[in-house]
Amino acid sequence: MALLDVHDLVVEFPTRHGTLTALNGISFAVDKGERLGIVGESGAGKSVAAFAVLNLLTRPGRIAGGSIVFEGRDLTTLSRAQMRGVRGNRISMIFQDPMMTLNPVLTIGTQMVETLKAHRDISDAEAKRIAIQRLGEVKIPSPDKRMASYPHELSGGMRQRVVIAIALLTEPSLIVADEPTTALDVTIQAEIMSLMLALCKSHGVGLILITHDLAVVSQVTQRVVVLYAGRVVESGRTDRVVHNPVHPYTRGLLAALPGEGEPGARLNQIRGNMPSLNAIPSGCPFNPRCDHVLDDCRAALPPLDDLDGHLVRCIRARELMTGRAA
Amino acid sequence: MSGEAAAMAIPPHPASDPARPLVEVRGVVKHFDLGGHFLQRERPTVKAINDVSLTVRRGEAFCLVGESGCGKSTLARIVMGLLTPTAGEIHFDGTRIDGLRHKARMPFHRRMQMIFQNPYASLNPRRTVQQTLEEPLRFHSPALSDAEVKAKVEQVMVSVGNDPSWGNRYPHEFSGGQRQRISIARALMVDPDFVVADEPISALDVSIQAQVLNVMMDTREKLDLTYLFITHDLSVVRHFGTRVGVMYLGTVCELADTATLFENPRHPYTRILLSAIPRVSTEEMQPPGLPGEVPSAMNLPSGCVFHDRCPLANARCSAEVPKPLPQADGTLVACHAVEEGRETPGG
Amino acid sequence: MNRLAVFFGSDFLYRFRRDPVAVGAFSVVAFFMLAALFAPLLSSMNPHDPAQLDIMNSEIPPAWQDGGEEAFPLGTDAQGRDMLSAILYGLRISITIGIFAVMVQMALGIVIGLVSGYLGGKVDAFFMRLADIQLAMSTLMLAIVALAVFQAAFGAELFADMAIVMLVLVIGIAEWPQYARTIRASVLAERKKEYVDAARVIGLSAPVIMARHILPNTLSPLLVISTVQVANAIISEAALSFLGLGMPVTMPSLGSLISAGFEYIFSGAWWITTIPAIVLIVLILSINLLGDWLRDVLNPRLYKG
């Protein structure tokens, strides 16, 4: 059985202009110790998915349908108190801004010890020992001294390491990381992503990595879900999706990366813009930007087609996969 | 016809020697005084740029690349005259332009334009697109008639792939990519020779980055522009740049043709930076092997600023500042290890 | 697109309609403003014209009390002035002084705030220390000294003629630091934004950048502080008038009405002082509630999330 099984998740934001559907029937699963990437551009709904799993949606956003089964329990039916026992304990989270996790007026040591003691019945000394051990694991130099530091005394990269150490404190079975390295420089990004990768493996923790960066996803995750306008458009094993993408959107995203093409040549751009949530096109949401569009694409939403474990929401998926489409 | 009329109305630039470099940065230093107390004897100083020299030739897309805090944006602002250098000179087409008074600088304001990083802050939210685009043209060519100005706006909007009917709308009605194309249009309104682009695509989504980069490449070709492109993203450099300067902590450590730099990176920092670019591949991500963190620019390391993180550093590196030395292929590298030929760790 | 249409479709109006406090406060302020504007049409007499006063009508209680008369719905004062007319005219004077005093403050504050914030350095330090010094002395203290000196130097008669101008100037000049500080703070925030750099890259001069690019983007805090400052100016005027340094009794503002009626309060004629006082309190409260609401709505941190 999967560690986390999200099925047909619908998230809505009621506004005065009508209800916006940020996620429209999203399904994905994470096995124990598996690393899953959720990829999309701004407005695709990838962060909403993370917040929904953690039950952290800001009002008026709400889960309007579907289930989120984690370790056998449906998180959508839990009370706030029960959810607190799961979040930060069995599921940890890492945000883009480390200061969403860190309290600026408490030392790192205090925050780590408090986090541990909130979830486990242990002594201060024991909690401190575990905290120092975790800081060492995230390669923070002289961790025992760092326990007395305040977050503002650390660089952005060091703060994100501390956040990872905190995320690992309670030995969770799943970590949800929302754009954890987007604000960081490439060398620090490489340090931190490789660190997270190594720690997830050594601790056997599952990872949901939410990012816009297909390159990072390809080097860190085992499976990937591509979101567009609140729907899954493609999902499958990461190597298959990045090397043999089928959906025109995924193909466009990969082709638009400047590192891939001939230097100086025009980049393959996807025309137009991501639709806003109140104007999602009918039929396939990608149809106005698609180079392979047919009349049928505008008529009805294509189903997620299962091509041997590789799911694609496109009526021309089979043609595109075999390269017969123009 | 309308486009031609507008083009005719703007006098061509005075003839300049095509062999002369368009922009020269000579020994520029920039220190920022951090307020401090007036009784304090030594005020804290951020040494943002320390003796940087480079030339941008006509028609180039010169890229400055480096991580946050390396001084690349500060240098761009100094070139544009938005900041005054503490020491050093900026020359544009043979004229020294740093320290010029407002009036004397006016022709250069027309010939040098800038595109900014944040598409949400670089357009005045209270002004319509039309007002924003007309402003530079009306300021520099007050003799133009309303019809000529309108025609020019339309021509430039079309050339960057914008719908010319956007004029009466406000910036908040547009997406990030559309705003960035409006920013590019504003820069192109006065037919500049030289455009500084400060991280113009880093705030945009991947599919939109490609759109904006394509517009910049098209305009470079069509309008014979010279670009100074500031970025942290080496894969963009590889695609867009003709030459590239790699910066670390306020100094240029390597300056090379783009193709050469990617084929044969010399400086140890350049090598690490190249290895850290995330690529679409199924190889698992590896740590880049860059120990420690960027030191504070208030307290620079002695000698080579990179020595305390460098795998090749020895005693000389911590004592003596390396000079940018030309290599056989014209690349400039500021590194004692490269100079001495000890390019493997411990060698 | 039509600016009016934009306004009516905006979040601003939507949030206004959904907030009963804002709607209530706005209605009260609008009601008083209109009443002040149309005072000559709504009043049964001109309280500033001594020829229309009849001493025989003095101290008639409000119409709903024993001895009240239909002709004087809110009673009369000691000179036989119709209280309703006096309040309407007094409101007119109070609001006029409030608005004009704020315009003086705004003019001074915008210029000083823009220059300080944009140029920074020594200019900024000079004006901000000046503001600190001025804020160390209360508005009332400054105003009392200035008005008392003027009265002593030029006599009470000339003072009575010039009272409105003097109050506007004194209250206006005494409170410019509030504006200057607010404007300076928003200029500092705006100056860092790239559209200001873009304007500098074009080659625009500093005054043009300040007026055309920065000032329009500091209008939201200006609107908030203006509502609150109008209320403050009206209160300052009322206090000065109450102390006998404001509007003369022949041309009473709300403050002078309260002051004039004060001595009759123990002789049973409570309405002469109480009714203008209630009008003043309701007016000030409503303006402040409106100002609070504006601040909540226009505060970009709360607004944009």
Q: DSSP letters along C176-217, please?
A: HHHHHHHHHHHHHHHHTSHHHHHHHHHT--HHHIIIIIIGGG
Residues on chain B touching C298 (C-beta within 8 angstroms):
none
* CB atoms A258 and B209 under 8 Å: yes
Cβ(A160)–Cβ(A192) under 8 Å?
A: yes
Counting as low any pLDDT under 50, the low residues of chain A are 326
Tell which of B78, B124, B186, B189 to mutate to test the C interface (max C CBs under 10 Å): B124
Query: For C95-121, what is the mean pLDDT?
Result: 92
Distance CA C96, CA C168 (A): 9
Locate A158 and state its tokens. Answer: 């060091």
CA distance A2 to A68: 11
Distance CA C279, CA C276 (A): 5
Give the count of beta carbons closer than 10 Å to the beta carbon of residue C196. Answer: 23
ipTM of the complex: 0.86
Q: How far is A48 from chain B (nearest CA, A)?
A: 17
What is the structure's pLDDT at A234? 96
Instruction: Please list, in sequence order, all residues whose beta carbon lies within 8 angstroms of the beta carbon of residue A83, skipping any fewer than 6 positions away.
Output: A55, A75
Measured between beta carbons, the chain B residues lying within 8 angstroms of A216 are 278, 285
CA–CA gap between residue A29 and residue A47 (Å, rounded): 16
The pTM for the full model equals 0.85
Inter-chain touch C194–B118, beta carbons under 8 Å: yes
**B171: closest chain C residue by CA:** C195
| Residue A221 identity (one-letter amino acid) | T
Number of A to B CB contacts under 8 A, please give it. 139
Name the closest residue on chain B to residue C121, using Cα atoms.
B35
Domain C20-304, CATH among 1.10.3720.10, 3.40.1710.10, 3.30.930.10, 3.40.50.800:
1.10.3720.10
Query: Neighbouring chains of C at 3+ CB pairs within 8 Å?
Result: B
Handedness of CA A43, B281, A255, A308 (dihedral sign): negative
Print pLDDT tens along chain B (347 aa): 344 444 444 444 555 677 789 999 999 999 998 765 556 666 788 999 999 999 999 999 999 999 988 999 999 999 999 999 999 999 999 999 998 888 899 999 999 999 999 988 999 998 999 999 999 999 999 999 999 999 999 999 999 888 888 888 999 888 888 999 999 999 999 999 999 999 999 888 888 888 889 999 999 988 889 999 999 989 899 999 999 999 999 999 999 999 999 999 999 999 999 998 888 888 888 888 888 888 888 889 999 999 999 999 999 999 999 999 999 998 999 999 999 888 665 43
Chain C partners within 8 Å of B81 (Cβ): 200
State which residue of chain B sits closest to C218, comparing Cα positions.
Answer: B126
Do residues C97 and C234 lie in contact, with contact meaning Cβ atoms separated by under 8 Å?
yes
CB contact at 8 A, B47 and B31: yes
CA C8 to chain B, closest CA, distance in angstroms equals 16
State which H helix or E strand residue B200 sits in: none
Q: Which residues on chain A are in Cβ contact (under 8 Å) with B283?
A: 219
Q: How far apart are CA A235 and CA C262, in angstroms?
A: 82
Between B176-188 and B146-159, two packed helices, what is the crossing angle to 10 degrees?
A: 130
Which residues of A fall within a CB distance of 8 Å from B294? 155
By residue count, chain A amounts to 326
Instruction: For residue B99, give how far its alpha carbon lies from the nearest alpha carbon of chain C (Å).
Output: 14
CB B180 within 8 A of CB B204: yes
Residue in chain A lying closest to B273 (CA): A187
